[in-house]
Structures are given as structure tokens and as C-alpha cells.
Amino acid sequence: MPPRVILIDANVFFAPRMRDLVMHLHADEVINVHWTSDIESEWTRNVIAKQGADADGIRACLEGMRDAVPGWEVTGYAKHIDKFDAVHAQDRHVAAAAYKLSLDDWPGQAVALVTKNVKHFPAKAFVGTEVTRFPLGAYIDALHSAEPERVVRVVETCRKKLKNPPLDKEGYVAVLMKHGCAGLATALASGWNVECPTLAKDGTLNYEAVESNRKPPAAPGARRARLAGSARGVDPG
């Protein structure tokens, strides 16, 4: 059973579809999401500078996230940063925040530190704490294994609300595979009766069936060699 209290690293917020899924899982009370102002700053600064995202759009997104999660902010963790000298220097504030969350905000509760850079957070750094670090995909898959019906319901809500552009079922499965959610993607593909691609080490999505007379899915991602970014350079996933 994965911890339901989670600290989200900035890199998780970079992918719009995964960010949206995390927020909806919180709204459905499957998980309890937290982050820090430093994590916010890291995400917003880099998504604008490196992915060319619209600054006003990102600020509006951030305000929506804050409104959706009133207790989002973890504070007072700076005093714990020195405890995590085994963690990559740029990520010690994230480890310290997760520790503070388990120590004071949710005392006695297990906390998941969810990130896309687990190697920056060696397991030895968290020995004797209530914090467990999870790769994003592994965490989502663990939630699905624990509560499959609830997670699938949340996924359906996320997918159906996408209108501009819409994302079909095969496209959503492809997004999940791209971000390492292989268990959830495989289960959804089976339930939705669509093909689930395999993910190569270089990030390529490979499909067994090649239907030359079939049009590409409406949204970026499915049945392409890679999930391409939008014209603005922002990760569509």
C-alpha cells in the first residue's frame, strides 16, 4: 500500500497530463498532495525558460492548483536540509520538505516523495524516517494496484475533460506509458480495447499493429514514433 501523503518534486509538474492526474487524484481524496514555494519556483521558472510555456498561463495554472489544494504548502523545512547530505545538492530542499511533512505536518504518517529523478535521492538518506521515494510512474501504478476502480475513474475524468485538443483513449494510454505508468497503461488498454505500446529506452513508443489506413489520434502521442512536443515546445504529456 503506497503512502497517501505525498510531496511532489518540481519535475513531476512539467508534464501537463501527469500534473492534471495528480491534482484529480487529490480532489477525489485518493491522495493528499503537498509541495513548497521553492518547488513552485523551480517548476515555473524552468517550464517557461526551457519549454517556452506561456508565463501567464503557467501563473493561472498555479493559482488553480493552490485553490484546489488549500493545504499544499510545506514550510519550516530549511532546518532539516543538512540532514540530507547524501542527496543531490540541488534536491536537498525537497528531501527536507518531505521529512518535515512526515515529522510535523503528518506525524506518524508515511510520506511518499514522488519524483522523476529518484537517483538524486538515495534510499540511505531516508533510513530511520517515514519517507519513501517513488518514481512517478511506479507511484501511480502502486495507487492503481491498491484502488483500481477509483484510479480508473479519475483517469476517465481527466481524459474526458480534455477538449482543446481532445485526447482519445489510445492517446491517453500512450501518455501514461511515456511517463512510466506501465501497469496502469496496460490495464486501461485492456479495458478500453486499444493497443498499448511498449516503451524503448530512448523514449520511443512502439506498436505491434500498423494500420496504414488509420488516421492518427486527435491528440499528440499515440501511434507516433515519439510523443512530440507542441509547436511551442511544451511537453504535451
Q: pLDDT (tens digit, 9 = 90+) per residue, 182-225? A: 999 999 999 999 999 999 888 899 998 754 444 455 444 444 43
User: E strands within the chain?
Assistant: 5-8, 32-34, 111-115, 131-135, 198-199, 205-206
> Which of the two residues, 47 and 131, has the higher pLDDT score?
131
User: Which pLDDT score is estimated for 28?
Assistant: 96
| Structural contact between residues 63 and 40, judged by C-beta atoms closer than 8 angstroms | no
Q: What is the pTM of this model?
A: 0.85
Q: What CA–CA distances, in Å, run from 75 to 12, 80, 93, 94, 103?
A: 20, 11, 11, 11, 12
User: Which pLDDT score is estimated for 53?
Assistant: 87
Share of the chain above pLDDT 90, in %: 78
Buried (b) or exposed (e) across 204-233, using 16+ Cβ within 10 A? ebebeeeeeeeeebebbbbbbeebeeeeee
77-119 pLDDT, tens digit each = 999 999 999 999 999 999 999 999 999 999 989 999 999 999 9
CATH number, span 5-144: 3.40.50.1010
User: Which pLDDT score is estimated for 164?
Assistant: 84
Q: How many CB atoms lie within 10 A of CB 138?
A: 18
Angle at 18 between CA 161 and CA 185, to 5 degrees: 85
Query: Where along the chain do the CATH 3.40.50.1010 domains lie?
Result: 5-144
